[in-house]
Structure 1
Amino acid sequence: MNSNNTFTIYSELNVEISSSDAKTLKIIKKNYNDKEVEDYVVVVPPYMFEYESFCKLRWRDRTLRDLFLNEFRTRPIEEYLRLIDQRRLSVNDTPVNSLDYIVRNGDKIKHRSLFIELPVAIDKVKILYDSSTLLAVFKPCGIPCHPQGRFNKLSLTKLIQSEYLSKLNTNSTYIHPINRLDRVTSGLVLLSKDSSTTKNLSSKVQFAHKYYLAMINESTSNFISHISQSSIEGVSIRELSLDESHGITSHVIKCEIGLKTLKDREGESLITRIDSSENSKYSLTYFFPLISCLDINEAKKQKINETDKYSILLCKPITGRTHQIRAHLKYIGFPIVRDILYSDKVLPGTKLNTSSFKFTDSNLSARCIYNIKDLEVEELLEFPLQKKYFGGGGSMSLDSSDGLAHVEYFVEPPIGICLHSLLYILPPSVPTEKYLIFKCEVLPDWIAKNTNLNIARVLEDWPYWNKSILSELKNNKLGLL
């Protein structure tokens, strides 16, 4: 970091990163004569892994059996019974002899078991910028920012450490996300390379101007008309002047309604709900429908059905609540395309040149055969072979007669939703310093391959998109656009 608190970008690399032992597999639709689907996922081989969890508040005074049946439902209870028989399930480093053990505050639960990671999309991580203190990368949808749940090697930080930093002439593989995206969201992620940069940028990112792109299943004109004619608490719409809009939009929709995140949903994903009570967290998002989206008249000229049209919104969250954009768009009545968690119905989002299967189909899998000797599963061979092993994101059968491992990976849609982190403007520490712009020029397929929308062209008229450093602006003087 230099003296005026800006970063020197040593290179604009656009280097692609993928796991060195990854395989690309075709998706199979189970229960349909194993019919293949015209789509692919990326997987890594199964391996042994040491799982470790400390007792959470909601786990106290519950049995291990209760926890494994309700909190960790990706494995049958028989798997944990075998671990007890093999003395590979412990609490506070002492093997337990029964699943009736009652979990107490401070307990450390640990077991060493097979890990089969969930498949991810075929898009690769791309290094956009690299400096001595900072990385800016494109994160594809489908991978989390850091190891969690049924992801480890296929997480963003692990991929960067193992496939990028470890191959450079550097003494450290420290990497820490400054901004974190949901697993199903693609786009810009900033990562620091040392703890002092983490501390400095973590404080700045709270006050950053952030812009995302989202796709909704409605024409721009209908979307604007609906908001204009509706009376929704906390939602307002205003027409913008040409100077305000820069020619890329015509209106701004303001959504100012409280949110509450439900985190302790047993065995379920966390979710954010609208909450206008005094206990809610204040939340504010601006939405700008981009003018490149087809209106009804243009759609008729091109003979495009109303149900096949989409709008692209430029989203600017002022606050940084969990799932804020997703929850606010659901509240307005237009959830993000493919966002099953925030949709009350299945959205017709399969005609976007990104996937040919329905993202709500739970009968999807991918299969691969490995040589047992090539897998890091030797420990399993020390015990009588099971008919099938479960590893969180799939199952595996071992055949000692031919030395082969048959692995079935579970494909859990949606792998990604139509939400993309586009651009961050980090503020200076003092008024005399410069704003810094980080942008992700790598666009997801639902934008890049939709020639009707032509978003890349419209962004060219946006002033922030064509700058690298905002040296001429004074602190806190940035407008909405």
Structure 2
Amino acid sequence: MKRKREEEKSKANDSNSNGNGNGNGNSNNNMEIVWQTPANPPVKEDYIFRDGRRNVKPYYFEFISHVKNRWAGKTIVDLFAEEFKGRPYDYYVSAVKCGRIQVDGEMVPVSYTVKSSQKISHFLHRHEPPVMAWDVSVLQKEPDVLTVCKPPSVPVHPCGQYRKNTVVGILQAEHDLAPLFPVHRLDRLVSGLLILARNASKADLFRQQIEAGKVIKRYIARVNGVFPEGEQVVDVNINYNASAGRSTAESGDSLGDTPLKGKAACTKFTRISTNGTHSIVLCEPITGRTHQIRVHLQYTGYPIANDMLYLCEHVTHREGMSADRAAAYSHHSPPPVSSDKSESSSEDFSIDPMCTNCPNLAPKGFDLDKREVCGSPWVIKITGE
């Protein structure tokens, strides 16, 4: 098996005869490509800190997937062009021709038709989006459980374009903590307490307790406006739009003539305090829908402060809250950044001649300033029995 994997990577390496370079664009035709897989752990040297951002040095990575039934019968190029639209059609044609895309470890022609369950390897130059250069602070470390403070903009675990720029990846690289099993999740833009199991058996125990209703999940959120006193229950369906990456509250019409969209969702809210401009609210989700707390708070007219995804749209006019006031949110102070993260002195990274993102660090079209700095929802998660 090991020999076959080396043969596959060798074929992909042969495609790089055009040469590649370093971060300054200098050509280096003799560089041997090292292909990473999910088995390769992140290390400290993988990160570049610049302008308050944590960047990941672009790296060569092998994506492995198996042909789904709905993919069967498509040509290898059409499959990639339709399912993975982040790169142009011509890129996939070139990648197949030169062996960067293989089927069952073999090069195939661009007209090749894939069959169900075949293994597809895509050898590419991977660029991860940057995140804010804030520490993932370890609050408590026990033999079986780890509790950390998750900063905004950082996903919990590898997903989509993110692998090393995740809470799990950063903890592994900077604290040598692995394996880790997130007990729950927080949205990428949300900051707060995060609990991770340190072994599979503890993670399974948490899962059983959550499924049995023995673990109560509560959140503390800072919202805009003077939230009403007393317990407020929002029982409104939530409909998630995957293509838009956001959810909406679906209350239907007053006569009940229009069928409700989405899934049933219920959240309890209790105001803890208010300063007349913002309120601190205890949130207890009864169900677990995508962005549930954020959407239900927006529905009530008291969106989470700095939540740019839900802050300014469809705000209900209620006492102590208006659309103008919602737009005039205040920024909170960022967590501290370690002195060794202020700027990185080693910024050399490979430049790939086939890569559509090079010579940039971030993926093409990614603007951290607009997507992250404008606001991060202020939410802290707490759990208990």
Q: How does the TM-score come out when normalised to structure 1?
A: 0.56
Quote the Cα distance in structure 2 between the aligned partners of 1:83 and 1:289.
Answer: 56
Quote the Cα distance in structure 1 between the aligned partners of 2:345 and 2:82: 31
Question: Match for 2:107 among 95, 102, 123?
Answer: 95
Question: Where does residue 135 of structure 1 map in the other structure?
Answer: 146
Aligned mate of 1:417, from 353, 376, 380: 376
- Is it true that 1:256 corresponds to 2:225 in the alignment? no
Q: C-alpha separation between the residues in 2 aligned to 1:175 and 1:116?
A: 24
Give the alignment partner of residue 210 of structure 1, picking from 193, 217, 220: 217
- Residue in 2 that maps onto 1:126: 137
* Greater shift in the superposed pair: 318-327 or 122-131: 318-327
Amino acid at match of 2:349: L
The alignment status of 1:112 with 2:118, answered yes or no, reads no
Alpha-carbon displacement from aligned partner over 1:15-48 (angstroms, at most 9, x marks no partner): xx9945423222xxxxxxxxxxxxx321121111
In structure 2, what is the Cα distance between the partners aligned to 1:370 and 1:163? 17
- Matched residue, 1:41: 53
Instruction: Sort the Cα spacing of 1:327 and 1:89 in 2 relative to 1 into closer, same or farther, 3 A.
Output: same
Deviation sequence 1:293-328 (CA, Å, 0-9, x none): 32xxxxxxxxxxxxxx43333211122222211222
Alignment correspondent of 1:285: 267
Q: Which residue of 2 aligns with 1:181?
A: 186
User: In structure 2, how many angstroms separate the alpha carbons of the residues matched to 1:325 and 1:18?
Assistant: 35
1:438 aligned residue: none
Measured after TM superposition, the shift of residue 278 of structure 1 is 8.0
Q: Contact between 1:259 and 1:283, CA under 8 Å: does it hold in 2?
A: yes
1:204 alignment partner, SS class: helix
1:186-219 deviations in Å (ceiling 9; x for gaps)? 11111111111111111223432222233433x2
Structure 2 match to 1:359: none
Q: 1:236-270, CA deviations, whole angstroms, 9 ceiling, x for partnerless residues? A: xxxxxxxxxxxxxx32211012334445x4xx536
Between the aligned partners of 2:49 and 2:249, the Cα distance in structure 1 is 37
Structure 2: gaps (5+ residues): 1-41, 253-258, 315-322, 335-343
| Aligned residues of 2:127 and 2:362 also touching (Cα < 8 A) | no
Whole-angstrom distance in 2 between the partners of 1:317 and 1:348: 26
Deviations 1:377-434 (A, max 9, x none): 6xx4xxxx45xx33xxxx223xxxxxxxx64553344336314233111x2xxxxxxx
Q: Distance in 2 between matches of 1:422 and 1:24?
A: 28
Aligned to 1:336: 304
Matches within 5 A, 1:282-321: 282-294=264-276, 309-321=277-289
1:87 is displaced (CA, Å) by 0.9
Task: State whether residues 262 and 273 of structure 1, in contact with CA within 8 Å, keep that contact through their aligned partners in structure 2.
Answer: no
Aligned-pair CA distance for 1:350: 6.0
The percentage of counterpart residues that share the same residue type is 28
* Alignment partners' CA distance in 1, 2:124 and 2:143: 38
Structure 1 204/152 Cα, relative in aligned 2: closer, same or farther at 3 Å? same
Relative to structure 1, is the Cα distance of residues 204 and 51 closer, same or farther in structure 2, using a 3 angstrom cutoff?
Answer: same
Partner of 1:465: none
User: How far has the Cα of 1:49 moved from its partner?
Assistant: 0.9
In 2: Cα distance, 1:370 partner to 1:123 partner: 19
Contact 1:274 1:327 in 2 (8 A): no
TM-score (ref. length: structure 2): 0.69
SS in 1 for 2:327: coil
Provide the secondary structure at the position in 2 that maps to 1:330. Answer: helix
Q: Deviation of residue 340 (structure 1)?
A: 4.3
1:79 is displaced (CA, Å) by 2.6
- Measured after TM superposition, the shift of residue 110 of structure 1 is 2.1
User: Could you say if the C-alpha distance between residues 323 and 186 of structure 1 is closer, same or farther in structure 2, counting changes exceeding 3 Å?
Assistant: same
Letter in 1 for 2:219: Y
Q: Could you tell me how far apart the structure 2 residues matched to 1:183 and 1:59 are? A: 30
1:272/1:324 contact within 8 Å kept: no
CA distance in 1, matches of 2:148, 2:43: 13
Letter in 1 for 2:313: D
Q: Distance in 1 between matches of 2:138 and 2:57?
A: 25
Structure-2 change in CA distance of 1:186 and 1:102 (3 Å): farther
- The equivalent residue for 2:203 is 198
1: CA distance between counterparts of 2:251 and 2:70? 23
* Contact 1:20–1:163 (Cα < 8 Å) also in 2: no
Distance of aligned partners of 1:407 and 1:423 in 2 relative to their CA distance in 1, 3 Å threshold: closer
- In the superposition, relative to structure 1, how do residues 282 and 83 fare at CA in structure 2: closer, same or farther (>3 Å)? same
The answer to whether the Cα contact below 8 Å between 1:135 and 1:192 also exists between their aligned partners in 2 is yes
Say if 1:260 and 1:275, in contact at 8 Å, map to a contact too. no
Secondary structure in 1 matching 2:273: coil
Displacement of 1:135 in angstroms is: 0.7
- The CA distance in 1 between the partners of 2:175 and 2:189, in whole Å, is 23
Is contact 2:236–2:249 with CA below 8 Å preserved after alignment?
no
The answer on whether the counterparts of 2:236 and 2:251 sit within 8 Å (CA) in structure 1 is yes
Letter of the structure 2 residue corresponding to residue 411 of structure 1: D
- Structure 1's unaligned 5+ residue stretches are 1-16, 27-39, 167-172, 225-249, 295-308, 356-367, 398-405, 428-481
State the AA in 2 paired with 1:136.
T
Give the match for residue 49 of structure 2. 24
Note the alpha carbon deviations across 1:356-393, whole angstroms, 9 max, x for none: xxxxxxxxxxxx9976xx4356xx4xxxx45xx33xxx
Aligned partners of 1:351, 1:257: CA distance in 2, in Å? 28
Q: 1:117 to 1:334 in 2, by over 3 A?
A: same
Amino acid at match of 2:271: P
Q: 1:67 to 1:135 in 2, by over 3 A?
A: same
Does residue 151 (structure 1) correspond to residue 151 (structure 2)? The answer is no
Paired AA for residue 96 in structure 1: V
> Any residues of structure 2 matched to 1:381-396 within 5 Å, and which?
385=353, 389-390=355-356, 395-396=357-358
> 1:84 is matched with which residue: 56, 77, 96?
96
SS of equivalent to 2:233: strand
Superposed, 1:339-350 pairs within 5 Å as 339-342=307-310, 344=313, 348=327
